[in-house]
Structure 1
């Protein structure tokens, strides 16, 4: 396999993106890199990785990474066509597809998926650089390439690869599975959320009726919460949660909250937005979840961003900003674009 560079991970220091590139040199190393690319260890999945042009030095550069559940045979063709269409929107020059799950017999399982995704990508003008099967992403798991290549081997320890080392240095977290990742945005205690829903009805109704309201107290509310998160003493009781929800209804406050996602308090902001996503009732949780997605994108965590955007749409179907961001992410919107959008590089 041609040497492939994994995209640079952003530095944990605001405004200083990392310049190092981790490289994978064979199919086993590429499969081992999948948990880092997705943010979790996928199971029974089709993973399709877009490939861009040459990066620093020789080799190719990985781009947008998609994952879908392995479809039943009756749905294989439409699912693979949809995946190919989504990937093509990011304009890759090539792709690698990986089937995860099942046990190898005389050949790799799910040849129907391999054939359908290859046909879908090639029909979209995307060159196939590899079609790989692996039992899973764990160390020692068997892998093999689909015909005509047919090479095989064992997955190296994902935690010991150069890609994993780069991810750890950048502060990325790899979750055991998608369920563990989704728990980062799972709503809190139902009774607590119902109580806050009643409180929000009262507070937001009063705020909407007020004329010429002063934004300053709302800015102070957000600033105080960010400072508490930065100091490791964030506590979200009913009063704080309701006050933050009211503050985020103010456009100027919401714009400042977006800027904090890539500012010097980006880590504190991400912690605050994640906590609010869990602690706010619907539909107000949508605003917090969208801010969490922006913060996650700002540091290159597309997996958390996608989960947060899904949560935003669940909380508020049709929520405008999360819908727009979701479409942008599907076409490769990442850290550099987020920083330009929010003016962090100026």
Structure 2
């Protein structure tokens, strides 16, 4: 099997270097470079086009824990990838499937492969029903891979084959040359965006309660939404400046711990509630490039981690902003993960829905960047005035709910 991995948009013309893959081993090694991270607990499907086997659209979803959901998942995933490919680059000539899952307690990688075989079969049937064959289906677990399509034990033994060590293969060297980057594992990326736990989470939830209670009398007492919005944006800019003046260690949990230490619980609570207003959020979305992008992304990640307890739904706003900045700065894999988490927090969050669809469709974010720049230019003469907006929405509801919760707890 020969497949070409193109490092950027597979649906349009490309002069980028191409990487040729000829075996299940090379496909397994290429997977992190195709999606931008090491997928864990994931079903990944890749469309293949033309005689040369050009890779096209990709789809990643979590593997349902219940086998009863596998048939629906297989059908929906096949339809989504094939129909989406038809809109962008024509109907695929084939599909490559990857099932990636770490062993459970007491399991081996081989046992994972056996357990997931019915899911692989359902995927092959679902794709075949739409007249697109599955060219290869691989299970990746515990540092090894297995082929569900190859019956030859000489190349695909029952115990599986070991994956190449990270960074040691020809694929890794070629991908680096082509500009492809792997950003850790799915769990690593998600961990930077998920809510805090333990004592810090409890303290943050109390701060959110206090901030919510304080918001009600301000609104009922005549404080306008515009004033609250202007204060929110001023606080956000102040925190971005604080982050800029304290660059974190390079990447990973240490960087996030440093950022968390720079934000007070009450500051984070005030900003989280303020971002529930769509007008404020839209203005914050303008900080998506140049020197503003990095501190903005750090701030949105930190705020997403502070949406704890009864306030987890509020994470949709900072997660969407984190996804937007990531996409705007070229980190599409992280953008997709952040936007998916935003929709997990609030499935009806329209801004996240639109960005998630646009990112997955391979659209260029420059169109939205241009619109936001124009909005900022029009508002620039009035930057010192309160931000205009609509009547209070979720922020007001949050404050009222916070009043009830705090009163009921006796605080």
TM-score by length of 2: 0.64
Alignment map for 1:59-138 (pairs within 5 Å): 60-69=54-63, 74-91=68-85, 93=92, 94-100=94-100, 111-128=117-134, 130-136=135-141, 138=143
User: Which residue, out of 228, 232, 238, partners 1:224?
Assistant: 238
Correspondence for 1:23: 19
Structure 1 position 311, deviation (Å): 3.8
65-74 or 79-88, which deviates more: 65-74
Q: Note if contact 1:6-1:23 (Cα within 8 Å) is conserved in structure 2.
A: yes
User: Once the two structures are superposed, what CA deviation does each residue of 1:98-149 show, in whole Å capped at 9, x if it has no partner?
Assistant: 24467669x9885533332122123234353x223344373xx344361478
Structure 1: give runs of 5+ residues left out of the alignment: 10-17
When residues 277 and 163 of structure 1 are mapped into structure 2, their CA distance, relative to the original with a 3 A threshold, is farther
Structure 1 position 273, deviation (Å): 0.7
For the pair 1:241 / 2:268, whether they are aligned, the reply is: yes
Partner Cα separation in structure 1 for residue 142 and residue 361 of structure 2: 26
Pairwise CA RMSD? 3.9
Q: Note if contact 1:80-1:113 (Cα within 8 Å) is conserved in structure 2.
A: yes
When residues 286 and 46 of structure 1 are mapped into structure 2, their CA distance, relative to the original with a 3 A threshold, is closer
Q: How many residue pairs get matched? A: 326
Structure 1 position 48, deviation (Å): 1.3
Structure 1 position 287, deviation (Å): 0.8
Partner Cα separation in structure 2 for residue 297 and residue 288 of structure 1: 14
Structure 1 position 212, deviation (Å): 7.0
| Larger Cα-atom Rg | 2
Partner Cα separation in structure 2 for residue 199 and residue 167 of structure 1: 49
Correspondence for 1:290: 320
Q: Which has the higher contact order (CA 8 A, sep 6+)?
A: 1
Structure 1 position 69, deviation (Å): 1.8
Partner Cα separation in structure 2 for residue 156 and residue 73 of structure 1: 30
Q: Note if contact 1:276-1:285 (Cα within 8 Å) is conserved in structure 2.
A: yes
User: Once the two structures are superposed, what CA deviation does each residue of 1:278-323 show, in whole Å capped at 9, x if it has no partner?
Assistant: 1244243221111112223334545543443344345445333224
When residues 193 and 216 of structure 1 are mapped into structure 2, their CA distance, relative to the original with a 3 A threshold, is closer
Structure 1 position 252, deviation (Å): 4.5
Correspondence for 2:388: none
Partner Cα separation in structure 2 for residue 121 and residue 193 of structure 1: 47
TM-score by length of 1: 0.75
Correspondence for 1:144: 147
Correspondence for 2:184: 174
